[in-house]
Amino acid sequence: MKKISILGSTGSIGTQALDICARHPEEYRVTALTAKSSREKLFDQVRRFRPEMAGLLDGIRPEEIPEDLRFCRWLSGKEALRAAAAETEADQVLVSIVGIAGLQSVLDALEAGRQVLLANKEALVTGGHLVMDLARRKGKPILPVDSEHSAIFQCLQGAGPNRLRRILLTASGGPFRTWSREEIHRATREQALRHPNWSMGAKITIDSASMFNKGLEIMEARWLFDTPADQIQVLVHPESIIHSAVVFEDGAVIAQLGVPDMRVPIGYAMSYPRRESTGVEAPDLTKLGKLTFEAPDEEKFPSLRLAREALAAGGAACTVLNGANEEAVAAFLRGEISFGEIYTRVERALEKLGGLPARDFGDIFEADRRAREVGKGT
């Protein structure tokens, strides 16, 4: 039996991970659950999965804990995240919170010798070198949950000593794939939130529409698979059936296929190296008939160019891109700025702060803080 702690259990990834736990009660015991503010949902989960520990980032007072849920240890604020990552008896820690808070949680979990199942992108985007270095030292490789990275990881099983020559990182192209540049710049919140294939949290759905998500994924892949950015090719594949592929020296391409359902990559990270049922059926290829591919349009989606520039700049440039984007997306979701302004603010942040260093944790947080100011437009 594996013991698993889930950070961000009320979110899109967290709830799907719990679906898998519920499907295999003999395989998984849940040791900790945390959320930011969704109390009622967290209460239901604690009632059902009975963890040792639960916590709310926004805090909870003892008298607010329902009588029947006082069997478990309740914590508030950052202390809750820290304990869920490092203190319970978990073998595995699923980091499925959003934002740069994920970096500290990943480092805490690794430091405590836990296996990290990583959905949170920001940890690798902002502190990839720190995370990969600590994971190596602790002998606990990161297991990717992001569907593309899970696909690449799956394609590499059985690769033996063969190095991959190139990664084909697939992208659906999002809801604006066929729109003009001007239409994209004027897009509304509702239009941007309508992803053609995947159902996900709001922040990542907007990032899929802007293609900043793919930019962040190039950074993730760079660290997870120790592959230079120029060997990571973005391939637009609107059907989202091929979740990514790797190219070997001999010209062979190995791809992973599946319907777009996050339970497959989440389940694979949880049960690795085994596979177990997830409730997801394999795609019916005869019904699909054909799969299509195209090159990304970097004129229409400057996010890809900005991501490559940030990677090339090194230091804290990727942190700057991420922080400015996160704030610009929040401003867009509040209806304060146009969709096009997201690109403008990120570009401005990189021009202004792209040269900041990332020697340690302190540097990263400082770069993040300053980038957020630009992202907020202040």
Count of residues interacting with ligand NAD (CB under 6 A): 27
Per-residue interface string for the shown chain with Mg ion, residues 281-300, x marking contact by CB under 5 A: --------------------
Q: Does 101 bind ligand NAD (CB under 6 A)?
A: yes
CB nearer to Mg ion: pick between 134 and 206: 206
DSSP H/E element including 173: none
Q: Does 122 bind Mg ion (CB under 5 A)?
A: no
Strand 242-248 with 164-171, pairing: antiparallel
Which of positions 109-138 make contact with ligand NAD (CB under 6 A)? Answer: 119-122
Q: Does 14 bind ligand NAD (CB under 6 A)?
A: yes
Selected from 52, 108, 122, 146, the binder of Mg ion by CB under 5 A is 146
Selected from 12, 45, 303, 319, the binder of ligand NAD by CB under 6 A is 12
Measured between its terminal Cα atoms, the distance across the chain in Å is 50
Alpha-carbon distance of 322 to 343, in angstroms, equals: 12
Q: Give the SS3 label for residue 200.
A: coil
Q: Give the SS3 label for residue 61.
A: coil
CB nearer to ligand NAD: pick between 10 and 126: 10
Q: Which DSSP category does 197 fall into? A: S
Q: Does 8 bind ligand NAD (CB under 6 A)?
A: yes
Contacts of 140 (CB under 8 A, 6+ apart): 110, 113, 114, 115, 116
Q: Does 307 bind ligand NAD (CB under 6 A)?
A: no
Q: Does 146 bind ligand NAD (CB under 6 A)?
A: yes
CB nearer to ligand NAD: pick between 131 and 247: 131
CB of 45 to ligand NAD, least distance (A): 10
Q: Give the SS3 label for residue 95.
A: strand
Selected from 3, 4, 5, 11, the binder of ligand NAD by CB under 6 A is 11
Q: Give the SS3 label for residue 117.
A: strand
DSSP H/E element including 44: helix 39-49
Is the bond preceding residue 273 a cis peptide, omega within 30 degrees? yes
CB of 275 to Mg ion, least distance (A): 20
DSSP H/E element including 20: helix 12-23
The entry of Mg ion, ligand NAD, none that residue 247 binds, CB within 5 to 8 Å by partner kind: none
CB nearer to ligand NAD: pick between 52 and 217: 217
CB of 40 to ligand NAD, least distance (A): 12
CB of 146 to Mg ion, least distance (A): 4
- How many residues comprise the chain? 378
Per-residue interface string for the shown chain with ligand NAD, residues 200-239, x marking contact by CB under 6 A: xx--x-----------------------------------
The entry of ligand NAD, Mg ion, none that residue 35 binds, CB within 5 to 8 Å by partner kind: ligand NAD
CB of 217 to Mg ion, least distance (A): 6
CB nearer to ligand NAD: pick between 114 and 121: 121
Which of positions 231-290 make contact with ligand NAD (CB under 6 A)? Answer: 262
Bridge partner residues of 164 (DSSP):
248
Q: Are 33 and 49 in contact (CB under 8 A)?
A: yes
Q: Are 165 and 250 in contact (CB under 8 A)?
A: no
What are the b/e assignments for 212-230, b being 16+ CB within 10 Å?
bbbbbbbbbbbbbbebeee
Alpha-carbon distance of 270 to 284, in angstroms, equals: 25
Angle at the Cα of 99 from the Cα atoms of 94 and 103, rounded to 5 degrees: 60
Q: Which range of residues in 2-10, 64-72, 135-143, 316-324 is near ligand NAD by CB under 6 A?
A: 2-10
Q: Which range of residues in 28-36, 59-67, 142-150, 254-262 is near Mg ion by CB under 5 A?
A: 142-150
Q: Does 108 bind Mg ion (CB under 5 A)?
A: no
- As a three-state string, the secondary structure of 284-306 is CHHHHCCCCCECCCCCCCHHHHH
Strand 253-257 with 242-248, pairing: antiparallel
Residues that bind ligand NAD (CB under 6 A): 8-14, 35-36, 38, 57, 81, 96-99, 101, 119-122, 146, 198, 200-201, 204, 262
Q: Which residues bind Mg ion (CB under 5 A)?
A: 146-148
